[in-house]
Amino acid sequence: MTDHFIGIQLGPQSVYDEGVDHCLDIIQEQGRVNTIIVSTHSYYGAHGRSAQALAPDHGVPVRDERSRNTTKVWINHHEQYFGGTFLRHKRDPATEEYADRDVLEDLQGPIRKRGMKLYARILEPHQRRPVQFIDNWPKIMSIDVYGRIYPNTCFNNPDYNNFWLSTVEDMFKSYPLDGLQYGSERSGPLSRVLLHGEVPSCFCEHCCTRARAKGINPERAIEGYRKLYEYITGLRNKTVNPIDGVFVTLMRILLKYPEILAWEYDAYTSKEEQTKRLYGTVKAINPDAQFGIHIDHQQSTYDLFQLAELEYAEMANYCDFIKPIAYHDIAAPRVRRWLLDSVHGSFLRELPLENLLSGFYDIMGLDKNKEPKLDELDSTGFTEDYVYRLTKRLVSNVGGKVPIYPGIGFDVLWNAEHVPANPDTVYKAVHKAFEAGAGGIVLSREYAEMRRANIQAVGRALKDLNI
Ligand SMILES: [Zn+2]
């Protein structure tokens, strides 16, 4: 078997819908995958997709995940590990599909027999959904700029942090795992207000105490973020028209309230501190287990504040590999709708969209002659050159300290206008990832979405690369 890491993100429902061997046959034989990265908790991601989003050609009938009540917890937890937190995972076999199964238990035998590796995957759930499944969830949610509970969790809340430390301790003591891919698709309050118009959080007592200890004034931060939020909301609603200009007025708020940037950076720091604790927990239990960090699309590709916060050379000190989202296909509509339209509809409305796209390509070091034009972003994807440049940037940053395994993404549904991934580009993207120095790749986003032609394109590329 190759030394390269060839992983795949697998939603556990596929294991049961398709049958363990059926699913592993496709993954191993057609995609040449050697590492299964299975979600053990799906409070966020991994499921809930429409039938249209799922691959129709796996040989079993597609089931619309939105109408199913599948469990969100795919393993059996043990109470003795859950000290220091009042939160508990819950499963109800009477009402939830597959709540009587244990995906790590069910996969480990077949995976070992095939000479493959078994990794767990956790996406830290920071949104509204877990409140339906976990008792006491509102008590660990953030506090927004108006003092209200806001459905985002807080990395300075010990009950929340201990909940995941307990979860990971239990997993690595109870199962012979080869590794964990952990991720938090969470941006800080500044990005959330600027890119999404979201109300800023968190300003809970834990965050305020921490800030004071660092010499950051919470009252000033709250006041600044309120002004910023109300200004951005006014721009998005087209109810403000500042005399000195939209962008200049934004800069004025940031200059008057430097606490805004300080709070943003500290939110990033507390997120990374939790990742460090999780890394340490895994390593203390099993030093050979591999701890990898998943980097989401806005952080890897288009949110300039998050791109500036994240220093990969520093991150290499608390992980064994980094898996950035390098999903070339879906990058194009995401950049168009989640970045360009968003900023053009608020603080960068003075710049034409064409200029914003051109500036984005230049700032990110992408080749505007190769990548899509403005009117092509909705219907096509970025090229394999994007995968190469993103991978190369990360490889250069970590200087060989840890390997980079870019996520090669395909068949991530956007809308009917967006043309599905093309096996030829997927093939080239795999080549380009290795050409840029990747130590492996992760087939993404979820196995359930991937059409066979694209899985086979990955397998063909690996074979041609002698991997
Ligand atoms: Zn907080």
The tens digit of pLDDT for each residue in 345-376 reads: 999 999 999 999 999 999 999 999 999 999 99
Q: Count of CB atoms within 10 A of residue 112's CB?
A: 12
Q: What are phi and psi of 175, to 5 degrees?
A: -135, 145
Mean pLDDT of the chain: 96
User: Is the backbone peptide bond immediately before 445 cis, with ω within 30 degrees of 0?
Assistant: yes
Query: How far is the centre of ligand 1, averaged over its atoms, from the C-alpha of 276 (Å)?
Result: 18
Are 437 and 399 in contact by the 8 Å Cβ rule? The answer is no
Separation between Cα atoms, residue 289 and residue 169, nearest integer Å: 12
> In Å, what is the CA distance from 376 to each residue of 42, 373, 415?
33, 5, 14
Arithmetic mean of pLDDT, 63-69: 92
DSSP code, position 79:
G
Query: Which of the two residues, 248 and 46, has the higher pLDDT score?
Result: 248
Query: How far is the centre of ligand 1, averaged over its atoms, from the C-alpha of 43 (Å)?
Result: 20
* Amino acid (one-letter) located at 171: M
Are 161 and 277 in contact by the 8 Å Cβ rule? The answer is yes
The answer on pLDDT for 382 being more than 90 is yes
Query: How far is the centre of ligand 1, averaged over its atoms, from the C-alpha of 45 (Å)?
Result: 23
Give 130's pLDDT tier (boundaries 50, 70, 90): confident
Give 45's pLDDT tier (boundaries 50, 70, 90): confident
pLDDT in tens, 220-235: 999 999 999 999 999 9
Query: How far is the centre of ligand 1, averaged over its atoms, from the C-alpha of 197 (Å)?
Result: 19
Query: How far is the centre of ligand 1, averaged over its atoms, from the C-alpha of 15 (Å)?
Result: 37
pLDDT the model gives residue 260: 98
Query: How far is the centre of ligand 1, averaged over its atoms, from the C-alpha of 209 (Å)?
Result: 9
pLDDT the model gives residue 57: 97
Residues lining ligand 1 (ion), CB within 5 A?
Answer: 154, 156, 202, 204, 206-207
Enumerate long-range contacts of 78-81, CB under 8 Å, 24 or more apart: 78/170, 78/174, 81/166, 81/167, 81/169, 81/170, 81/173
The answer on pLDDT for 160 being more than 80 is yes
The answer on pLDDT for 39 being more than 90 is yes
Query: How far is the centre of ligand 1, averaged over its atoms, from the C-alpha of 149 (Å)?
Result: 10
Rg (C-alpha) for the chain, rounded Å, is 22
The answer on pLDDT for 1 being more than 60 is no
Q: What are phi and psi of 245, to 5 degrees?
A: 105, 150
The answer on pLDDT for 416 being more than 90 is no
The answer on pLDDT for 115 being more than 80 is yes
pLDDT the model gives residue 46: 65
pLDDT the model gives residue 458: 98
Query: How far is the centre of ligand 1, averaged over its atoms, from the C-alpha of 172 (Å)?
Result: 28
Structure tokens at 318: 């608390």
3-state secondary structure of 348: coil
> Which of 45, 48, 187 has its CA nearest to residue 122?
45
pLDDT in tens, 257-286: 999 999 999 999 999 999 999 999 999 999
The answer on pLDDT for 421 being more than 90 is no
3-state secondary structure of 235: helix
Give 41's pLDDT tier (boundaries 50, 70, 90): very high
Arithmetic mean of pLDDT, 438-459: 97
> Which of 7, 256, 250 has its CA nearest to residue 116?
7
Structure tokens at 200: 């800023």
pLDDT the model gives residue 131: 83
Separation between Cα atoms, residue 56 and residue 62, nearest integer Å: 6
Query: How far is the centre of ligand 1, averaged over its atoms, from the C-alpha of 204 (Å)?
Result: 4
Separation between Cα atoms, residue 165 and residue 71, nearest integer Å: 21
Structure tokens at 411: 């068949």
pLDDT in tens, 205-223: 999 999 999 999 999 999 9
Per-domain residue ranges of the chain: 5-126+159-185+290-464
Q: Which CATH class is domain 5-126+159-185+290-464?
A: alpha beta
Are 154 and 206 in contact by the 8 Å Cβ rule? The answer is yes
Quick one: residue 400, left, alpha or beta (phi over 0 = left, psi -120 to 50 = alpha)? left
pLDDT in tens, 188-203: 999 999 999 999 999 9
pLDDT the model gives residue 291: 99
Are 101 and 72 in contact by the 8 Å Cβ rule? The answer is no
Query: How far is the centre of ligand 1, averaged over its atoms, from the C-alpha of 123 (Å)?
Result: 19
Separation between Cα atoms, residue 295 and residue 5, nearest integer Å: 17
DSSP code, position 420:
P
Query: How far is the centre of ligand 1, averaged over its atoms, from the C-alpha of 148 (Å)?
Result: 12
Give 381's pLDDT tier (boundaries 50, 70, 90): very high
The answer on pLDDT for 294 being more than 90 is yes
Separation between Cα atoms, residue 40 and residue 80, nearest integer Å: 19
